[in-house]
Amino acid sequence: MSFTSNVPFDVLQFAKTLTKLEYGDPTVLDMINQNYQNLGRAYRIGVTGPPGAGKSSLVTMMAKHYREEGVRVGIIAVDPSSPFSGGALLGDRIRMQQLGADENIFIRSMASRGAMGGLAEYADAAADLFDLYGFDVILLETVGVGQSELEIAQCADTTVVVIVPQSGDVIQGMKAGLMEIGDLFVMNKSDDPFSEKATQQLKSAIHLKEWGEWTPPIINTVATENRGIDRLIHQLNAHHSFLIQTGALEQRRQQRLVRRIKQMVTEKVERELWNKTREIKLLQAIQERRQPQHILEEIYQDFRGSFYVGNESESN
């Protein structure tokens, strides 16, 4: 299966290809692989922040703005799955209603579990697919509450961290790791009386870190009223130019690929390592109350040994 940009965009087929990708369909992975050289045309923007910060509203306004410039916009909105039922309630489209049925905006909601391998890996691959199918701007939206969510944000060329005055102590944000990944900070709901103070706090928090050539700006917005969005887009353009001119874009993309391939290798090894036989051995050893360090050594040696034998045919 090969990809040519001359073929008219078939929305139904694209949607189904995304589903196949989500379940690790080899034909789709192969297609992305074969078109690897064509990737990187789209500008990928990650939008993250605490629940209720207004990420979906902001993404909606950004998408609208980009549409006015005539570019095609892809949106990937990730929401958490229930660890108990495996189900998910994906509600980002509620805020995106006003984007209507514009055929140049494609929104896909994703559940955090149910993705093949790691979530970040999948979101990254999904962004690749949007890229290949000619979307100019890809907005990746995730709740910034855990490691994997932070990683998704890092699938982007530019990461926007959204916070609100009501988040209270900005220092909490620093703990969560959000402060380190932002290229741009958005103080949304800036019509709040505490916004000025919160912006000041955020500013001093940002300046605690040595940023190098690019110090993240703070943009005050009221997404629901479309206020401050033009400034946000302006700063995004500035950051995009900065990335291109300094070579940082290429560097970031390389780092991303390093991370992604490392993760894929790790997952492959892990799948081979934890076959049924070893799972049972581990449980037995624990039930026999043997020392953890000894169990570790035995399993590790057994795994290493399997390479010399040359197969893992007893697996699963």
From 105-113, 150-158, 165-173, 271-279, span contacting other proteins (CB under 8 A)? 105-113
Residue closer to other proteins (CB basis): 12 or 309: 12
User: Does residue number 7 form part of the binding site for other proteins (CB under 8 A)?
Assistant: no
Our finding on whether 316 is near other proteins (CB under 8 A) is no
Q: Of 79, 198, 89, 230, whose CA–CA distance to 141 is shortest?
A: 79
Minimum separation from the CB atom of position 114 to other proteins (A): 5
Residue 94: partners with Cβ closer than 8 Å, 6 or more residues away = 56
Binding residues with other proteins: total (CB under 8 A): 32
> Using CB under 8 A as the criterion, what x/- string covers residues 107-126 for binding other proteins?
xxx-x--x-x----------
Nearest to 263, CA basis, from 252, 271, 251:
271
Confirm or reject binding of residue 275 to other proteins (CB under 8 A): no
Q: Order the strands of the 43-49 sheet from edge to edge.
A: 105-111, 73-79, 137-143, 43-49, 158-163, 184-187, 218-220
| Shortest distance in whole angstroms from residue 16 CB to other proteins | 6
Note whether 130 and 17 are within 8 A (CB).
no
| Residue 16 or 234 with smaller CB distance to other proteins | 16
264 binds other proteins (CB under 8 A): no
Q: Is 12 in the site for other proteins (CB under 8 A)?
A: yes
Per the CB < 8 A criterion, the answer to whether 140 and 119 are in contact is no
81 binds other proteins (CB under 8 A): yes
Contacts of 118 (CB under 8 A, 6+ apart): 148, 151, 263, 267
Query: CB–CB of 93/106 below 8 Å?
Result: no
Any idea which residue has 């169990």 for tokens? 295
Alpha-carbon dihedral 43, 57, 208, 235, rounded to 10 degrees? 40
Q: Choose the stretch contacting other proteins; rule: CB under 8 A; options: 21-29, 34-42, 148-156, 293-301.
A: 21-29
Q: Residue 51 CB, nearest distance to other proteins (Å)?
A: 16
Residue 23 or 211 having the CB closest to other proteins: 23
In whole angstroms, how close is the CB of 62 to other proteins at the nearest point? 18
Instruction: Give the binding range for other proteins (CB under 8 A) out of 57-65, 87-95, 217-225, 293-301.
Output: 87-95
Q: 119-132 vs 11-22: helix axis angle to the nearest 10?
A: 160
User: What is the three-class DSSP state of 32?
Assistant: helix
CA distances from 96 to 57, 76, 218 (A): 7, 12, 24
- 306 sits near other proteins (criterion: CB under 8 A): no
Among 3, 23, 36, 300, the residue binding other proteins under the rule CB under 8 A is 23
Per CB under 8 A, does 18 bind other proteins?
yes
Using CB under 8 A, list all residues that contact other proteins: 11-12, 15-16, 18-20, 23-26, 81-82, 85-91, 93-94, 97, 100-101, 106-109, 111, 114, 116
